[in-house]
Structure 1
Amino acid sequence: MDTRSVIKASGFLILTTISIPANLFVCFAFLHNRFTEAKLLPADIILCHLAFANLMVSFTRSIPQILSALGYVNIFDDVGCKVTILCFRAFRGLSISLTCLLCVYQAVVISPATSLLSPLKIRISQYLLYIILFLYLLYYSSSITAIFNGVAILANNSILLYTYNLDYCFMSFKDYSTYIFVGLGVMSRDLVFILLMTIMSSYILKLLYNHGQKVKNIRGSDNSQKGERAESKASRAVVTLVILYVVFFGVDNIIWLYSLTILRVAALLSDIRIFFATLYTSVCPIVIITTNPKVQKKLKLAKTKKDVQTIRTCTHMV
């Protein structure tokens, strides 16, 4: 293995070993709450779907990247490539749109009664599952080009000009206009959600700042910290997720736009772009685990059970 392959395999292996267990734990925590408490808050439902989307991105992109870097060839046939690329594009898009939905919902929750967003407080809760279903349908239908362009092996084993080389599969387009149209279409679709979540997160920060100033004037700075509401903590966590996604999305698409200006994209540059495209799947569950009270409760419970089992095992050994 050359140096590039070693670094690539190591990088994606680190992402995968963080992403899969962490996202599985987040899903388990909320599903366990669903069956024990018989109800999940809208934010919990969104977070559960977000963790599932991140988990599927890891399975459909990070793991194949590791295998290809380790020297495995012909991982998929044509059908496998089409399904893998379709699922990756759909779930990556869902990761964007669900983060946006979470941001919008949090902005609605903390907005004052006089705000234009106030009427959405009840409606989002009522139609949440329909909204999520719409997002699934939107991204699967708009990623359908993967079925027509995804292949395992190129004709004559030669990479054409208008081809995305994923190492384990290829996305081949017949001409430059199709290549540009599909790429810009995907970026524009995702950019709408990025802009919306940026606007909503800015609104959240404005509300948090105004709330902090009011509390500071009434109670004093020390007491204001102690009296911080759970909504404010949740809002800060959401804003953190948005900032992270905007940064990763920006790096990903800046590299992609640059690749349109050259005939052959350097393999290292392509690897960096794919790394940033999947980095959110590892960072997102860490933010959720460290900020969400319900997930933290499950984590403490699991740790307590493990400690009890360890004590019992030591007692039996003695």
Structure 2
Amino acid sequence: MKANDIILGIVFSSQTTLGILGNSFLVCLFIVMLLTGHRLRPIDTIFAQLACFNSLLLLSNGLPQTMAALGLKNFMNDNGCIILFYIHKVSRGLSLSSTCLLSGFQAITICPRGSWWAEVKARAPKYIMPISCVSCITHLLLNIIVFMKFKNLQASRNSSKLYDFGYCPGLEDTNIVDVHFGVVVSLRDALFVSLMVSASAYMILLLHQHHKQLQHLYVTNLQPRSSALNRATQSILLLVSTFVCFYTLNSILNSYMYLRKPKLWLMQCSAFLSIGFPTFSPFVMISSDSQFLKYCHRLWGRNAPHL
């Protein structure tokens, strides 16, 4: 085994393990808090969903890339490849839509009372689960094309259009179905990213206005609650910024690969970027949102032995 393959395997395995541990910690934390009767914020539902989808994304992309880098080339059969690509596409889309829902929900939460969104603010928590269910069903149905795309995979083994993902062979996106599907996915991604950027810009504007108002206030009894809301908003802004950064770099690289036959190292770089957000997002949430530390403190205080 070459030295660069060993280094690549270590990088992917570290990235995947770190991301799965972080996301699993968040999911387990929410489950334990819920079972022990602690009250969770409505937005924690979105955090839990995002952690689940990110874990699936890491398992369907990071884990196979690790095994391929460590020498297990093309170890999956056709059915395994199809299922793996399907899970990857669905989890990627759900991670995108959940991040968009997260930024939109927080923008509505901090909107001023006199705005039009104030009427939606009180009902917004009730819409989280219905929107999440519709999003999940939509992505499950949209990505059924993966099964159509790879149904003739075995017959195309000797095609000049075949390229290798490292752990599973695939076909270039050259037929008309793939082109149409690529356009639909690109429009979907562009819509979600635009909504995220718009919601983030709106939150930044509100935070700036709120900061200016606090400079002229002498009443301090409302400031602790406002500070907590501001910190939660800033954590979501940081989370969205992390997503947009990784997504933009990965999209640029994917666009370059689409114009020419991609090499294996380019696809490995794309895989590294695609699982970058799922890896770092749980640690961004934990470190920037003080509520998670409070949850841990409550559980530790409840389970700590009394001397």
* Same-fold status (TM-score > 0.5): yes
Match of 2:275 in 1: 278
Alpha carbons of structure 1 residues 3 and 178: separation in structure 2 relative to 1, 3 Å: farther
Question: Cα deviations across residues 176-211 of structure 1 (Å, max 9, x unaligned)?
Answer: 433333323222212211110100000000000000
Q: Which residue of 2 aligns with 1:269?
A: 266
For residues 155 and 67 of structure 2, what CA distance do their matches in structure 1 show? 23
Partner of 2:279, secondary structure, is helix
- 1:99-110 aligned within 5 A: 99-110=99-110
Corresponding residue number in structure 2 for 1:22: 22
> Partner letter of residue 269 of structure 2?
I
In the alignment, the residues of structure 1 paired with residue 74 and residue 198 of structure 2 have an alpha-carbon distance, to the nearest angstrom, of 44
Q: Which residue of 1 aligns with 2:180?
A: 181
2:170 is paired with a residue of what secondary structure? strand
Q: Provide the residue aligned with 2:144 in structure 1.
A: 144
Q: 1:93 to 1:286 in 2, by over 3 A?
A: same
Q: Is the 8 A contact 1:154 1:170 kept in 2?
A: no
Measured in 1, the distance between the counterparts of 2:117 and 2:304 equals 46
User: 1:302–1:227: structure 2 CA closer, same or farther, 3 Å change rule?
Assistant: closer
Distance in structure 2 (CA, Å) of the matches to 1:68 and 1:151: 23
- 224-233 or 202-211: bigger deviation: 224-233
CA contact (8 A) 1:109 1:121 kept: yes
Task: State the alpha-carbon separation in 1 of the partners of residues 178 and 189 from structure 2.
Answer: 17
Do 1:149 and 1:171's aligned partners in 2 also have CA atoms closer than 8 Å?
no
Structure 2 residue aligned with 1:197: 196
Residue identity in the other structure for 2:284: V
Residue in 2 that maps onto 1:217: 216
| Offset at residue 3 of structure 1 (A) | 4.0
Q: C-alpha displacement at 1:224, in angstroms?
A: 11
Distance of 2:203 and 2:60 partners within structure 1? 33
Instruction: Say if 1:76 and 1:169, in contact at 8 Å, map to a contact too.
Output: yes
Q: What does residue 316 of structure 1 align with?
A: none
Aligned to 1:95: 95
Give the equivalent residue in structure 2 for 1:54: 54
Residue among 273, 296, 299 paired with 2:293 = 296
The residue matched to 1:265 in structure 2 has which SS?
A: coil
Instruction: Summarize the Cα distance change of 1:46–1:94 in structure 2 as closer, same or farther, 3 Å threshold.
Output: same
Question: Structure 2 regions of 5+ residues with no counterpart?
Answer: none
Question: What TM-score, normalized by structure 2, do the two folds share?
Answer: 0.89
**Take 1:33 and 1:65, find their aligned partners in 2: how far apart are those partners?**
34
Instruction: Give the alignment's Cα RMSD to 1 decimal.
Output: 2.9
Q: Over residues 57-108 of structure 1, what are the superposed CA-to-partner deviations in whole Å (9 max), with x where a residue is unaligned?
A: 1111100110111111343222221111111111111111101101000000
- Deviation of 1:301 after TM superposition, in Å, equals 6.2
Counterpart residue number, 1:259? 257
Percent identity between the two aligned chains: 25
Structure 1 SS opposite 2:215 = helix
Q: Which residue of 1 is the match for residue 242 of structure 2?
A: 244
Deviation string, structure 1 residues 205-257 (Cα, Å, up to 9, x no partner): 0000000111123359xx99977521111100111111111111111111111
User: For 2:118, what is the secondary structure of its paired residue?
Assistant: coil
How far is the alpha carbon of 1:111 from its aligned partner? 0.1
Q: Which amino acid aligns with 1:186?
A: V
- Matched to 1:205, the amino acid is I
Q: Partner of 1:43 in structure 2?
A: 43
Q: Distance in 2 between matches of 1:158 and 1:92?
A: 30
Higher deviation after alignment, 118-127 or 269-278: 118-127
Aligned to 1:232: 230
Per-residue deviation, 1:37: 2.4
- Aligned 8 A contact 1:77 1:152 in 2: no
Gaps of 5+ in 1: 313-318
1:151 Cα deviation after fit: 6.8
Going from structure 1 to structure 2, the CA distance change for 1:226 and 1:120 (only over 3 Å counts) comes to closer
